[in-house]
Structure 1
Amino acid sequence: MANEFDLIHRYFSPLAGPEGLGLEDDAACVTVEPECDLVVTKDMLVEGVHFFGNDPASSIAHKSLAANLSDLAAKGAKPNHYFLGLSLPGTIDDAWLQKFSDTLAKLQQKTGIRLAGGDTTRSLSGVVVSITAMGTVPHGKMVRRSGAQVDDLVFVTGTLGDAALGLKCLEGHIEPTDSLIERYRYPEARFALGITLAPHIHACADVSDGLLADLGHIAEASGLGADVTLADIPLSPVVRQLITQNPEYENSIYAGGDDYELVFTAAVSKRAKLEKVCADAGVPLAVVGRITENTGIRLIDQNGKLVHTERTGFQHFET
């Protein structure tokens, strides 16, 4: 592997926008658009926690940047810049770095985000990727978790459970399925859709830890609760079949993370508009519940009975 400065020059300087100053300075210089607020988010992905050591470099790069793009999407922010912190063991070679940087370049081209700086260090264990991303929203228009209102409908984009079951494929619990592994390794952040939805919704989060956990963050921040109908959670055909055959994995659809879909709340009167926005974007949209005055999240089955849930989503320091 090249030394630190050759590594930066060869693989990451080509990704830098003008704000990054060619990655030749120890800082960046970012200009914020007039009448806009700067939205900043950060995600750190660690080998053995968020990805496997033998995962492709392209997957690690994609997932690391997509996680941040998804956070910006949930705020209705346009992605602008990001800072990359990369800690690498000595076993990483130039071919790995080339695939990693090529994947970042593809996501930059697709989303318009640009590298503005970062840092590289040696790791004594596995790969660690830390990204801080920045986006902009019109002043005062950022979508917060705390904006949900009583009787709002709860919406979810896409399908849920694919990534969680993709992880189970890689762990050897179920027969490998390419589409599920793909969803786990290469999540699609709804960065463009988030911007379009923002003017019409009250609160939003991305489904990174699990539907019930992330909707729970919205409910708690809003001082409210939510009822979610299990049968209304959108599933891909492969997930539906797997759950039918393996009912013990049902919690993957409401407590599994890594789907990076959007869960948001909006007034009933906005439903038709939101459905059109998503249809125009080619993204499925489902209503899965309603915001309530009573605090807490309740999962309800097809018979109207409460579903006992031992866990609602992923937590790093769960005991």
Structure 2
Amino acid sequence: MSDESSFISHLQVFATHPAARGLTDDAASLTLGGRTLILTHDVIVENVHFLPSDPPEDIGWKLVAVNLSDLAAEGAKPSGALMAYNLSGDTEWDRRFAEGFGVALARFQCPLIGGDTVRAPLGSARQFGMTALGEAENSPGRSGAAPGDDLWVSGTLGDAGAGLRIARGEISGPQELVEAYRRPTPQLELGQRLAPMVSAMMDISDGLLIDAKRLAEASGVAAIVESIDVPLSEALVGLMGDSRETSVAAATSGDDYELLFTAPRRSRRAIETVAEELNARIQCIGLVEQGEGLKFQEGGRPLPLPQSLGWAH
């Protein structure tokens, strides 16, 4: 058990309100006056979620994107944001961060409605927090997956993980992979369209395999992921090759911020139609069955699970 999951287990004793969903989701679902409000709060920390060398504009963008990705997974439309900002002591750096933050808010139509600013001790790691609020007509959460459901993902996986390695100078590769790491895109419209037809949904922030395991645990089922069907971009395949190793790397790297969802097989055509209308890439990568835990396979043959399933604090 990671430090994060251990700490959350202590907090679950206090999270008795139905909106908390037992702290098994990344967002709370609060019903007020007949409206369903979705609330989420994410923090990004230097040398954990971004590099000191990353452009401040991109860090501001990323703070918005990672929070709105949680709303996307709940099928929510953004209503507003509050930000907690750690002043850097460099007014130009702060200005550039605010510029990127504002561009992202405008791009995803999420107004800033408040927050707080503080000054941390000199030399401490930069960290920023944001609370995002949204409204949803359907909010699937993670706990509704059922045996027989298909397991799907949106987009391509592994681009951000490769982009981080490029940004660190570990390997050379195309700038579009670096952009995938620095400027993720929350799948808001896709999440809203999918929400009425899926049984469970979450965003992939820490890696496909670790997040599929979390979804399975929340639903009390087993998830089977087919490595051959893990969707890869041309840029990633051009860099790393089309191999089992590439698929495993893509399935265990984080920062993708794509959607992972389950749905009954009768919904396949409706889901494909939504993807066609939005020009969005989706891929069925496995299925849900009775039992518990996570299974990884290649062409139907079992594969050993990687030592690390993804990122855990």
TM-score with structure 2 setting the length: 0.85
**Displacement after TM superposition at 1:116 (Å):** 1.3
1:227–1:132 Cα change, 3 Å = same
Is 2:107 aligned against 1:110? Answer: yes
Contact 2:295-2:305 within 8 A present in 1 as well: no
Is 2:301 aligned against 1:304? Answer: yes
What is the identity, as a one-letter code, of the residue corresponding to 2:143? Answer: S
Question: SS of 1:145's equivalent?
Answer: coil
Residue equivalent to 1:215 = 212
Deviations 1:238-282, CA, capped at 9 Å, x for gaps: 212333288755532111110100000001111111111011111
1:119 counterpart (116, 121, 127): 116
Larger Rg: 1 or 2?
1
Rounded Cα–Cα distance in structure 2 between residues aligned with 1:246 and 1:233: 11
**Displacement after TM superposition at 1:310 (Å):** 0.7
Percentage of pairs with the same residue: 36
Deviations 1:143-167, CA, capped at 9 Å, x for gaps: 1100001110001000000000111
Rounded Cα–Cα distance in structure 1 between residues aligned with 2:106 and 2:252: 32
2:229 counterpart (210, 221, 232): 232
What is the identity, as a one-letter code, of the residue corresponding to 2:226? Answer: T
Residue equivalent to 1:269 = 266
Rounded Cα–Cα distance in structure 1 between residues aligned with 2:35 and 2:278: 25
Rounded Cα–Cα distance in structure 2 between residues aligned with 1:155 and 1:249: 19
Count of residue pairs the alignment pairs up = 281
Deviations 1:107-160, CA, capped at 9 Å, x for gaps: 22222211111111112213211011111123xx31110000111000100000
Structure 1: tracts of 5 or more residues without a match = 1-31
Q: Which structure 2 residues correspond to residues 169-318 of structure 1 after superposition, within 5 A? A: 169-244=166-241, 250-302=247-299, 304-316=301-313
**Displacement after TM superposition at 1:175 (Å):** 0.8
What value does the CA root-mean-square deviation take over the aligned residues?
1.8
Rounded Cα–Cα distance in structure 1 between residues aligned with 2:135 and 2:278: 21
Residue equivalent to 1:147 = 144
What is the identity, as a one-letter code, of the residue corresponding to 2:101? Answer: L
Residue equivalent to 1:7 = none
**Displacement after TM superposition at 1:86 (Å):** 0.8
1:168 counterpart (165, 168, 173): 165
Rounded Cα–Cα distance in structure 2 between residues aligned with 1:119 and 1:200: 38
Contact 2:59-2:100 within 8 A present in 1 as well: no
Contact 1:72-1:79 within 8 A present in 2 as well: yes
Rounded Cα–Cα distance in structure 2 between residues aligned with 1:79 and 1:165: 29
Residue equivalent to 1:129 = 128
